[in-house]
Amino acid sequence: MKLTAWLSLGAISVASASQWPVGVPSQSQRISPPSRPLQWGDINVIATTDTHGWLLGHQKQSFPEPNYSGTWGDYAAFVNHMRELAVEKDVDLLLVDSGDLHDGTGLTDGFPPGGVDARDSNEFFKQIPYDVLAIGNHELYIYANTLDMHTNFAQHFKGRYLSSNVNITVFDANNQSVSVPVGSRFRKFQTRKGRSVTAFGILFDWTGNDVNTTIQTVEDMVEEPWFADAIADAPDVFLLVGHMPVARDRWPVVFEAIRKVHPTTPILIFGGHSHIRDCLQLDGRSMSLASGRYMETLGWMSVDLSSGGTDNLTFSRRYLDANRVTYQFHTNRADRTFDTPEGRNITQGLLELEERFGLTYQYGVAPQDYTMTRSPYPSNGSILTLIMEKAVPTVLALNTTRAGIPSIVITNSGSQRFDIYKGPFTRNDELTASPFVNTFLYIPDVPFAAATAVLPALNDAGAERLWPGEGEAVEESRQERVWRQERAVEAGYAAWLADMHQRYHTQPSAAAQELTPGYVTSDACPGLGDDTPHAPLPAYRLPDFIASPTPAPTEAVDLVFVDFMEAQLIRTLNEVQTERVYSLADAGVYSPVLTNEVLGIYAQVAWN
């Protein structure tokens, strides 16, 4: 894929249409409320991560989307009321974000030509009074985006946007190129209650960043003199915020470096990147929390601080569904007292941005839900089935000079990022579900037997196979490294869903519960983490590669594929037949339509 500017208790209803911000649809479904109040401590933290542009919430009517229907303005109101509660309770409340603000919806990716990804949407992000924010890998895909974060976003937060191991190369006052942190290395500050905090913002070891940006390994970072100086004095709390999974990654490296100097100082860790809800404790005086993805989850952590000593601390954690019902429950607010002027202005501003970017343009009306993993492939409810059996054949037939010639179209299943839900299908839905910009290529006159053998051979080899098809030792490109990392995230998220579903349905009482669908989290921390009880969604495995329906047997076909997998496909084609050696020179452009345009064109044809 080309790198572009981009994946019970009684229920109560959300606010009526007249109480919702103008332009945001009320949810007719009934959203289940939280099961219990939050556990507050001396220090409390609300955490977001991997928001990826979902600042207007999930607006579709099909579950589980209503669980995540709160807008960024609703979140702003929630933060305001929670800060008031913290004052009433005479405790500290901190706000943190673990990165990946870019790439996900039209609010980030749908900017007009000449714009910068997420620059406009980040103006609303900046209206939340975060104490610490960390850089994500999506902030480093394109140099212009990183530069904007350095010169604009970081300047707004004045030392609170942290990139402890991430630099950008810029020109200094003497017009000399210099490598400087994108944000700040660390932050030391006092809470409202006068507690001292030393904070870092760390990115996992990643190699897909753009030119003129650098990422230092975590192991090297903790050996830096500045890091030793930063941790020399003992604060009341170390606050580690970073775009890195809380399990099976490099957090222990940072943790142990601090523990060598401060064996008992409380350490609060907030991770991200993996898109899952997760928690673990590296020792009895620390906790590590990850808060999911796409503004579906708010993370909550609290800790009661001991007066000293080495005893284990009392922590709590919670995963909050990001909707108004959740927000009102935990702030003890009714509809008429929940909204704030600032929150309403944020939501209204996002709606105006949506209009300005043309994201509300409606291509058609989807007749049903089409999901990534909730329906098996192939099946009527699978988005991959929709793409390859209906959308791609229909659209290409209308936009190629090869119409009427039998063809087989092959692509990778990772070409789609998000579900399509029943109802209006807009420009924003198109950008969200199918953002990757690729060209359809083809090789003409491929023998039928060889063409039909390519798909099973691709799936047998798997998507992890080394791509370069010409030469034995070709260095993997940055595009390929990015793709592998993003694939790992999606594969991990899918495995998490599957494990969730399996665990839940092995419980004897599972079938008797009547719960709305959503996340059912199992993590390594004690107690129940989910704020609202749900039944998990089904999760099915997907093949790495998918194809259009096979035509009736014929002598030869056009073998059509996306340029993203060109080398791998040609290499495979040469393995399934020996009559001819194919090369990149045999491939030509099949259609002027790009992959990210297919769904919009199809909706105009079939869903009107």
pLDDT band at 309 (very low <50, low <70, confident <90, very high): confident
- Of the ranges 179-193, 327-341, 346-360, 454-468, which one carries the lowest mean pLDDT score? 454-468
Cβ atoms of residues 40 and 92 within 8 Å = no
Give the Cα separation of 579 and 586 in Å (integer).
15
pLDDT band at 524 (very low <50, low <70, confident <90, very high): very high
pLDDT band at 306 (very low <50, low <70, confident <90, very high): confident
Give the Cα separation of 75 and 65 in Å (integer).
16
- Of the ranges 117-126, 129-138, 140-149, 562-571, which one carries the lowest mean pLDDT score? 562-571
Cβ atoms of residues 210 and 240 within 8 Å = no
Give the Cα separation of 53 and 471 in Å (integer).
40
The tokens describing 490, both together, are 């999606």
- Reduced to 3 states (helix: H, G, I; strand: E, B; else coil), residue 46 is strand
Q: What is the mean pLDDT of residues 179-194?
A: 98
Domain residue ranges in the chain: 12-28+39-356, 362-463+544-606
Q: What is the mean pLDDT of residues 62-84?
A: 98
Q: What is the mean pLDDT of residues 3-21?
A: 31
Position 14 scores a pLDDT of 32
The structure's pTM equals 0.93
pLDDT at 67 over 70: yes
pLDDT band at 295 (very low <50, low <70, confident <90, very high): very high
CATH code, 12-28+39-356: 3.60.21.10
pLDDT digits (tens, 9 = 90+) for 255-284: 999 999 999 999 999 999 999 999 999 999
pLDDT at 61 over 60: yes
The tokens describing 113, both together, are 């030509």
Ordered alpha helix ranges (H), 138-202: 143-148, 154-157
pLDDT at 474 over 70: no
pLDDT band at 4 (very low <50, low <70, confident <90, very high): very low
Position 487 scores a pLDDT of 87
Q: What is the mean pLDDT of the chain?
A: 92
pLDDT at 17 over 90: no
Q: What is the mean pLDDT of residues 68-87?
A: 98
End-to-end CA distance of the chain: 30
Position 467 scores a pLDDT of 52
pLDDT digits (tens, 9 = 90+) for 422-468: 999 999 999 999 999 999 999 999 999 999 999 999 999 988 764 55
* Phi and psi, residue 539, nearest 5°: -140, 120
- If 0-12 CB within 10 Å is exposed, 13-18 middle and 19+ buried, where does residue 460 land? exposed
Cβ atoms of residues 383 and 426 within 8 Å = no
Q: Bigger pLDDT: 478 or 336?
A: 336
Instruction: Name residue 484's beta-bridge partners.
Output: none
Position 28 scores a pLDDT of 37
Q: What is the mean pLDDT of residues 137-160?
A: 98
Q: What is the mean pLDDT of residues 21-26?
A: 41
Give the Cα separation of 145 and 6 in Å (integer).
12
CATH 3.20.20.110 fits 362-463+544-606, yes or no: no
Q: What is the mean pLDDT of residues 40-58?
A: 98
Position 189 scores a pLDDT of 98
Is the backbone peptide bond immediately before 25 cis, with ω within 30 degrees of 0? no
* Phi and psi, residue 460, nearest 5°: -65, -40
Position 472 scores a pLDDT of 41
Contacts of 309 (CB under 8 A, 6+ apart): 264
Q: What is the mean pLDDT of residues 79-95?
A: 98
pLDDT at 16 over 90: no
